[in-house]
Amino acid sequence: MMWQQFTPELYHFAAALLFTALSMTRRVDNRRDYWVALSLAGGGLIVCLAAVRAEGLLFLNTYKVDLFAQLFKVLLSMGLFLVVALCSELNGVARRWHSEFYLLLFTCTLAMMLLVSSVHLISIYVSLELSSYSLYVLVALRRDAAMGTQAALRYFLIGIFSSAIMLFGLALLYAATGLTYLSDLVQVLPGVIDQPLVLVAVVLTLGGFFFKLALFPFHFWAPDVYVGAPNQLAAFIATASKVAAVAVLLRVVAATGGQETLLVDSLAALAIISMTVGNLAALVQKDFKRLLAYSSIAQAGYVLIGILCMSPEGADAAIFYALALLLMKFTCFLAVVKIAADGGNPSLDALAGLHRRSPLLALALMMAVFALAGIPPTIGFTAKLLVFSAAMHKGYLVLVLIAMFNVVISLYYYLLIVKAAYLTEPAVETPAPVLSLSARALTTALIIAIVVVGFYPNPLIVMARQASSSLF
């Protein structure tokens, strides 16, 4: 057994252990946890980058370390680092729970890293549950206990419901094939995917991942959890958690190999319903985080188009889209965190006059929102272009048309955000959000990344192609 292939996971496990110890010591300085977490998360990103070329099979072949998994581990650790960077004023969480907050963030990242590497049904299930449990507790850590507990309970109930459905699917899958390794399933499933038993088994199994991705019909938790969770955690759920869900969906859907089948039709139906429901519900939202939640549901529908293509182009597009989502959603939540300095939930009205209070933040928000809407010189446009052209290659014209129609609907509420930030005058004068030097640097870097990757995505597309080559 070669331990060095397992370094990123061990590193994050050690970090989680350190925070367990810190949570049991007497508190000396409230800022200590933040600095420890930030340096550990930065170190984690470096460790993941260093291990990106590792390859191998671990733990009785249930755990596959390949470029696909390592690339997603880099994305996950980047998401963790960015979210921890937002936690300098962790006002949404009571002081005494700060160590636990970081402990669970690291545990959740560890679980998602295990998830993207798992190639066995049981190890997929166990790591999925570990990441979910961390998130349930994290949501409940909100300082406003009534709001946090309600959101956590709702998250938990829908979570156990979907994981029960997934377990049933796994049991059916095992009953139909007698196999548990994805590498074995990929040899059997393509021939039998049209049998009702196998199809039902696969769709139910995917339910657990749909819950993570907040895809219809498992999306009901998203608005309440985004609103009830501390703002930084909502950023984590909207970015890292979605990235992990895309990775595991890609792996499992690729293993079914069900091209041109009922499975593709049912996934397409879910994608269409998800984006339509998300976009239509987002139109009427007043709360900024709730709007972002519905936008997440719609974006999950777009990602699923790339996944259901089951072609190398589709997988590249989905990987690229995951990266784009990470950057776009994180930038939006950067604005949320900075605007709501007291840790509350900002409404859309709280954005009024942002361009005068903080031009840099307003610019970042505008770029992120334009990227989410898919307006050209941004990463979001490139991601949508890749997804839609992959679908067109497979001849899914109707699907792409419906998606385009949805993009037009979504323009309305995305432009509402820009209008609130740039055109609306504030009713009462609110203090400008405080941006430290490092926060300014982070914001500028995000703006540059959104634009530059939109213009020049080639290196990333090449990397995504290399990563997805192990899937097909």
Partner 1 sequence: MPMQPLPMAEANALSPWQPGVFSLSIYFAAVLVLTIVLLALATWLGERRPSVEKLRAYESGIIPTGTARLRLPVPFFMVAIFFLIFDVEGAYIFSWAVACYDLGWKGWSQISFFIAVLILGLIYIWRKGGLEWGPTFKKR
- CB of 176 vs partner 1, minimal distance in Å: 5
- Given phi > 0 = left and psi -120 to 50 = alpha, else beta, which region is 65? beta
Residue 201 or 271: the one with the smaller Cβ distance to partner 1 is 201
Q: Does 4 bind partner 1 (CB under 8 A)?
A: no
Residue 12 sits at the vertex; the CA angle it makes with 9 and 16, to the nearest 5 degrees, is 135
- Residue 24 touching partner 1 (CB under 8 A): yes
Q: Please give the C-alpha separations between residue 31 and each of 106, 232, 252, 441, in angstroms, as whole numbers.
A: 18, 16, 42, 20
Residue where the block lists tokens 């671990």 = 58
Q: What would the x/- binding string for partner 1 be over residues 369 to 388, using CB under 8 A?
A: --------------------
Q: Is 261 in the site for partner 1 (CB under 8 A)?
A: no
Residue closest to 69 by CA, chosen among 112, 122, 15: 112
Does 2 contact partner 1 by CB under 8 A? no
Distances (CA, A) of 331 to 271, 354, 360: 25, 15, 12
Neighbouring-strand partners of residue 57: 64
Cα–Cα nearest to 75, from 364, 83, 56: 83
- Which range, of 19-27, 120-128, 135-143, 212-220, touches partner 1 by CB under 8 A? 19-27
Q: How far is the CB of 45 from partner 1 (least distance, A)?
A: 26
Q: Give the Cα separation of 436 and 444 in Å (integer).
A: 12
With beta carbons less than 8 A apart as the criterion, state whether 55 and 66 touch. yes
Q: Establish if 20 lies at the interface with partner 1 (CB under 8 A).
A: yes
Pattern of binders to partner 1 over 124-163, x per CB under 8 A? ----------------------------------------
Q: Interacting stretch for partner 1, rule CB under 8 A, among 111-119, 150-158, 169-177, 311-319?
A: 169-177
Burial of 418 from C-beta contacts in 10 A (0-12 / 13-18 / 19+)? middle
Q: Rg of the chain's alpha carbons, rounded to an integer? A: 21
Q: Does 392 participate in binding partner 1 (rule CB under 8 A)?
A: no
From the list 20-28, 299-307, 314-322, 326-334, the region that binds partner 1 by CB under 8 A is 20-28
Element (DSSP H or E) covering residue 172: helix 145-177
CB of 75: closest distance to partner 1 in angstroms?
28
Of the candidate residues 58, 179, 200, 409, the single one contacting partner 1 (CB under 8 A): 179
Shortest distance in whole angstroms from residue 163 CB to partner 1: 16
d(CA 188, CA 185): 5
Cis bond before residue 217 (omega within 30° of 0): yes
d(CA 160, CA 208): 9
Between 188 and 341, CB nearer to partner 1: 188
Q: To the nearest whole angstrom, how small is the minimum distance from the Cβ of residue 104 to partner 1?
A: 13
CB 56 within 8 A of CB 65: yes
187 binds partner 1 (CB under 8 A): yes
Q: How far is the CB of 67 from partner 1 (least distance, A)?
A: 22
Q: Which of 168, 184, 262, 433: binder of partner 1 (CB under 8 A)? A: 184
Binding mask 188-227 for partner 1 (x = CB under 8 A): x---x--x-x------------------------------
Q: How many CB atoms lie within 10 A of CB 443?
A: 22
Does 23 interact with partner 1 (rule: CB under 8 A)? yes
469 binds partner 1 (CB under 8 A): no
CB of 178: closest distance to partner 1 in angstroms?
A: 4
Angle, CA 127 vertex, CA 267 and CA 184 arms, to 5°: 60
175 near partner 1 (CB under 8 A) = yes
Per the CB < 8 A criterion, the answer to whether 370 and 122 are in contact is no
- Residue 177 CB, nearest distance to partner 1 (Å)? 6
Gap between the Cα atoms of 212 and 237, Å rounded = 9
Which of 14, 30, 56, 96 binds partner 1 (CB under 8 A)? It is 96
Is residue 464 close enough to count as binding partner 1 by CB under 8 A? no
Q: Give the residue carrying structure tokens 């989502």.
A: 325
Give whichever of 17 and 284 is closer to partner 1, judged by the CB atom.
17
Q: Is 176 in the site for partner 1 (CB under 8 A)?
A: yes
**Coil, helix or strand at residue 142:** strand
- When the beta carbons of 146 and 437 are compared against partner 1, the nearer one is 146
Enumerate the β-bridge partners of residue 63: 58, 118
Nearer Cβ to partner 1, position 176 or 308?
176
Contact call for residue 459 and partner 1 (CB under 8 A): no
Stretch (H or E) spanning 154: helix 145-177
Judged by CB under 8 A, which stretch of 15-23, 246-254, 304-312, 438-446 contacts partner 1? 15-23
Residue 93: what are its φ and ψ, rounded to 5°? -125, 140
- Which residue's CB is nearer to partner 1, number 175 or number 283? 175
The residue ranges that bind partner 1 (CB under 8 A) are 17, 20, 23-24, 96, 175-179, 184, 187-188, 192, 195, 197
